[in-house]
Amino acid sequence: MTYIDRFGHNDNWQEVKDATMNTIGMNTGKYPDSKWKLQLIRAEHSPIRKLKFSWRWKELPYWVSVHIVRHKIGIEHFVKTQRSDRTGIDRNELPQGAHVSHECEADGQALINISRKRLCAQASKETREAWQLVKDEVAKVEPELAACMVKECVYRGFCPEMFGCGFDKTDKFKEEREAYVNPDLLK
């Protein structure tokens, strides 16, 4: 079973606020409150790239790791090798379901972007579950960011897939879209 054995994030919101103020020609401001954080994240202004996260999945199926490694902007990947000369196991004999550890470092914008694709029902169940583990960890330390880590249809308000799953026609979609557009964190 896939799990996260390490998750890291340092609270650097003052740096994010300072960068934001700098972009509008102002000096630093006070430490931001939850409403300000959420507004900045929802606007996806460039300083959210200063928010940094790291984690490591254990026992991630290799083929799921391949799905995640396709994302490259704002994220770095460190995947356990399957090289025969390093493992002593013939790589050609390993099934795609063989487990790897997959470590990542990513910024806030990357987490939003990746969520749009990897929480979508068009992603495999296993990939969605692995990414949900990341979102759950983010929610513990940055609930404002986690509130913006949503599937593509919720983000856009419609499904852009050529052969969608139909979720955007359900009441659950309406609930998730409403929570995204009008989050409790703003109230």
- What's the predicted TM-score (pTM) here? 0.94
Could you report how far apart the first and last alpha carbons of the chain are, in Å? Answer: 38
Q: What per-residue confidence (pLDDT) applies to 177?
A: 96
Q: Is 45 exposed, middle or buried (0-12, 13-18, 19+ CB in 10 A)?
A: middle
Q: Cα(83)–Cα(92) distance, rounded to whole angstroms?
A: 10
Q: In the beta sheet, which residues pair with residue 107?
A: 52
Over residues 118-150, the pLDDT tens digits come to 999 999 999 999 999 999 999 999 999 999 999
What tokens does 35 get? 């409403």
DSSP 8-class letter at 132: H
Question: If pLDDT is split at 50, 70 and 90, which confidence band does 156 have?
Answer: very high
Q: Is 134 exposed, middle or buried (0-12, 13-18, 19+ CB in 10 A)?
A: buried
Q: 108 near 48, Cβ under 8 Å?
A: yes
Over residues 10-56, the pLDDT tens digits come to 999 999 999 999 999 998 889 999 999 999 999 999 999 999 999 99
Q: Cα(104)–Cα(36) distance, rounded to whole angstroms?
A: 27
Residue 76 belongs to what H/E stretch? strand 75-79
Q: Cα(136)–Cα(128) distance, rounded to whole angstroms?
A: 12
Q: What per-residue confidence (pLDDT) applies to 187?
A: 54
* Backbone dihedral angles phi then psi of residue 142, each to the nearest 5 degrees: -140, 75
Q: 106 near 73, Cβ under 8 Å?
A: no
Of the segments 70-79, 88-97, 176-185, which one has the largest average pLDDT value? 70-79
Q: What is the mean pLDDT of the chain?
A: 95
Q: Strand, coil or helix: what is 163?
A: coil
Q: What per-residue confidence (pLDDT) applies to 1?
A: 86
CATH numeric code, 3-186: 3.30.1360.170
Task: List the chain domain ranges.
Answer: 3-186
